[in-house]
A and B are shown apart, each in its own frame.
Chain A
């Protein structure tokens, strides 16, 4: 099939389905982004000062570059957004899901996601030189779920980290600058940074140089806010750091310890397979952290770059992992992660009991217990998939 046709079909599917799914994050984030067009440069201080008058009172827990970029973007999007968009953004009452234009709000807000999603597909093709990888990215329901149903701006840092990987050998300084922009949008790429540095070069001076380059965008974008206590207060309200150290063994946090072990082995290896290293982080992450589904997207493009990804046995374990991850997510006590996604089709979907409620009320079983078993299964299948991948790779090399 010709490229043009593939991208057009992918685009049609996205244009048809993207307006039908909702998650409250897209609304709460855009609620905050709207204040940029009202001249509020320091969103953190603004929310702190006006907390009692705002219809939505949660703090803005993201970095300044996120606010400035998506706030500016929203100003342009407002040109084509229906006139009742601002009213919807500020409506947090019972009627917030009854806006007939809701699917259009969502579609227009997701246009940048569609653009970045297709670009990721293109980059994956450029890196892997495999049409199969491209088709798999564009037409697999899991990435669609993470980008358009869980819908978060994480797709932007994800694109930037992938672009950074694409450029890392040919233009390392530019690559780390782009990586730095990804960090300035969201801190999570910091988890990948040591691996990117080792992959580029094990020369200490070079590693220091690229580390400095990677921190420049964050430092520059944070400086104007550094004197604002509201910024620090809001920013450290986010939960990832807490979640990473939540699982402990004899008071020792599991994730950081295994992370350091993976990093150590990466340092020792002669030839670093970066997508595999990130795949290991992914396995560690889903096995030891109580993750939110949107966080899975951070790793996903790198999973697509694994060698032998389509090897039947390995592919089966990936499929099994995907099913377990979805099962884990559907057992979270939050109807917005199940039926709530379908609010744009019909707000009455919210009246349907979530799997959590069904298990608890109809079967009298604690859903968290099942979730713990699912988590254990995720850890087991993760371990298995790492072994299968290693076996396949060594056979492939020999």
Chain B
């Protein structure tokens, strides 16, 4: 009698677990809690955090947490930001970053002294390079492929926005152009 009751309670408990598990499944897609970290090492801060892009374990984004518009790299595994020495400069506004899925290359649009550029940062060498140094055009909205091979961005070349595609070394891909 007693063991029956225990079994019944167990069964009820099991059902409850099952229901919880099932309704857990049914709740996708769902948001992952990313609370504000007042210490400034988290994904969200007390200031504006914007333009996120996700690749592998990394999320790259723009934040005003240090009273400037800078780029931050967040590691989902350690759940904190990773330092990017030499990337953020005091006189540059950084926008629309993206990162390769191995976390090595970061591409972003930078604006310095009235000139725009598409920059690539190598976390291994800590080198920053302007891929559009010799391009006489306003550029914006870059994107880097997750394998780190290819960069695409908008350029104002002919009085309207066009898309240019470069390899990581800054060589334009040879693509057909529209007929005049």
Answer yes or no: are A and B bound together in one complex: no
